[in-house]
Structure 1
């Protein structure tokens, strides 16, 4: 069954495998709010665990905004979770504050001994925007300061840790050509150094919830975006009708250069899955996304069942919906 709660909407999520257990962390909000769009400013994080990505045990709320006044006292949005070499759990997340009307995003850090009860490291702030490579809040050009959705992993090329995140490059005349994937490095998960973006290809206005992984000798970076954020350059590269959904970059090296995967959007159908993640299982790769709009246009707010994924001879990813068991909700 899908990841769902009777009294809450669920949307962006991330999954961490710890031994035989898959831990799902997700954004949640009460579904009694007057409109689903209000969920973004009334958010906490939920936690569920599974051994098969199908049957889930919900553990309740795991993280929430700080008490006022703080840099993350309004929202604690999407991030990633991992354990370090000592076994300590780390949560990296996105925060905004009331004092700035939520317009400036920053990246936060908390730790836990059990993966559920979190303590902020200091005031929680791990990394703030700075330098010439990242776009500040520019009213009238883009609707917020994009600096969010940290994906943290061990440095695959040496010691320490690396972080990928959503950002924008300054000075782009076309707003939809400004989306980038930012990058930072750390020796210890506590001290972070902002680096130039690893991707600034001018293809999308924003490239949300990145996930980086290696499969069959190639590196992949999933991201999601809306059809309204396709640049003119990407419309020429991919002439299909713009859709909302999840696509990916490909590279031979985790630090790039990265290129947008050719061909059709990986998982795109206006109103369908969003913020997708690839999960490695004993049976192979599967894809999950949160379910956005029902056929009648209403917001669903659940996470789909896992969909098998095939990698073809050219390294391109394909969902295999025909291999789903009867009753799967995708």
Structure 2
């Protein structure tokens, strides 16, 4: 468990170095804010290390907001870490700015030789392309412009990125969440692509914190949707926001989001799949319990794919 006495901890992402040490990067904000709803616009990226994903040693923070004026001068949010062909580490992350009151999200990156000291690169590198993705305006029927939570991976001879996005349309707002896509040859220049899925009656207002991971031979797309942001059809099934998994095939050309099934847990959110000691575990933060926000990273839970759902092992 990763619990800080003076900070809330929530979304997290992971990397494993050459010595087998697991690094977690996570969003953190001071509990002195008192109201947990204020944490998002004060978030920075923390860092800790562990041998088992349960006993953590806190490290220096990885990134904080940039000096104004900048595209990420309000807060830094969720991302992912990959290793370049040169051996250097690259972290992609989300940023929001004061100029837009934190309502417009963009994606940039930073580099490190040791996963500890990070250097921010010029950005942003990815923004919501209005050809396919919803942009924020004063009369929007949603509360922000979604372009966040980059998940970067190799596919064939190029890099691919999945990100949280929304599309415009006549469908209800809580059905228009999509998985955004982009591609790059070098991790620096990115081409934004059409979304991976279409709005669906069994869809979501937002498809957050996506990840691709292979479990028991099956590639899975893992994501989450906040409470109250699932479609009416999902609510009718008794779902009120959760972590979801849908099986996919690579190369990834599309996904039927209606086939997503929840992973049963009392409060786990923004979960990630990670391999440790030859087994796959799911790990995320404790969200709402007994009506209040917890804000700490839970211990890992061993999981398996039963052919239809992700379940506890």
The TM-score range, normalised by the shorter chain, is: over 0.9
Q: What secondary structure does 2:270 align onto? A: strand
Q: How does 1:1-330 map to 2 (within 5 A)?
A: 2-19=1-18, 20-122=20-122, 124-138=123-137, 139-155=139-155, 158-202=156-200, 203-235=203-235, 239-260=236-257, 262=259, 265-269=262-266, 272-295=267-290, 297-312=291-306, 314-320=307-313
Alignment RMSD (CA, Å): 1.7
Q: What is the rounded CA distance, in whole Å, between the counterparts of 1:153 and 1:234 in structure 2?
A: 29
Q: What is the rounded CA distance, in whole Å, between the counterparts of 1:172 and 1:285 in structure 2?
A: 40
Q: What secondary structure does 2:222 align onto? A: strand
Count of residue correspondences = 309
Q: What is the rounded CA distance, in whole Å, between the counterparts of 2:105 and 2:305 in structure 1?
A: 35
Q: What is the rounded CA distance, in whole Å, between the counterparts of 2:3 and 2:170 in structure 1?
A: 40
Gapped regions of structure 1 (runs ≥ 5): 321-330
Equivalent residues of 1:247, 1:267 under 8 A apart: no
Please report how far the alpha carbon of residue 231 of structure 1 lies from its aligned counterpart in structure 2 after TM superposition: 1.3
Equivalent residues of 2:234, 2:240 under 8 A apart: no
Please report how far the alpha carbon of residue 101 of structure 1 lies from its aligned counterpart in structure 2 after TM superposition: 0.7
TM-score (normalizing by structure 2): 0.93
Q: What secondary structure does 1:253 align onto? A: coil
Q: What is the rounded CA distance, in whole Å, between the counterparts of 2:304 and 2:66 in structure 1?
A: 42
Instruction: Write the deviation string for residues 41-90 of structure 1: whole angstroms up to 9, x where unpaired.
Output: 11111000111111111103110010001111001100001211211111
Instruction: Write the deviation string for residues 270-328 of structure 1: whole angstroms up to 9, x where unpaired.
Output: xx111011111224111111011232x2321100000010211x2521024xxxxxxxx
Q: What is the rounded CA distance, in whole Å, between the counterparts of 1:261 and 1:304 in structure 2?
A: 28
Q: What is the rounded CA distance, in whole Å, between the counterparts of 2:265 and 2:172 in structure 1?
A: 23
Q: What secondary structure does 2:186 align onto? A: coil
Please report how far the alpha carbon of residue 262 of structure 1 lies from its aligned counterpart in structure 2 after TM superposition: 4.7
Q: What secondary structure does 1:198 align onto? A: coil
Q: What is the rounded CA distance, in whole Å, between the counterparts of 1:214 and 1:79 in structure 2?
A: 19
Gapped regions of structure 2 (runs ≥ 5): none
Aligned to 1:323: none
Equivalent residues of 2:216, 2:304 under 8 A apart: no
Change in 2 beyond 3 A, CA 1:172/1:217: farther
Equivalent residues of 1:291, 1:300 under 8 A apart: yes
Q: What is the rounded CA distance, in whole Å, between the counterparts of 1:318 and 1:278 in structure 2?
A: 12
Stretches of 4+ aligned residues off by more than 4 angstroms: 261-264
Please report how far the alpha carbon of residue 241 of structure 1 lies from its aligned counterpart in structure 2 after TM superposition: 1.5
Please report how far the alpha carbon of residue 263 of structure 1 lies from its aligned counterpart in structure 2 after TM superposition: 7.9
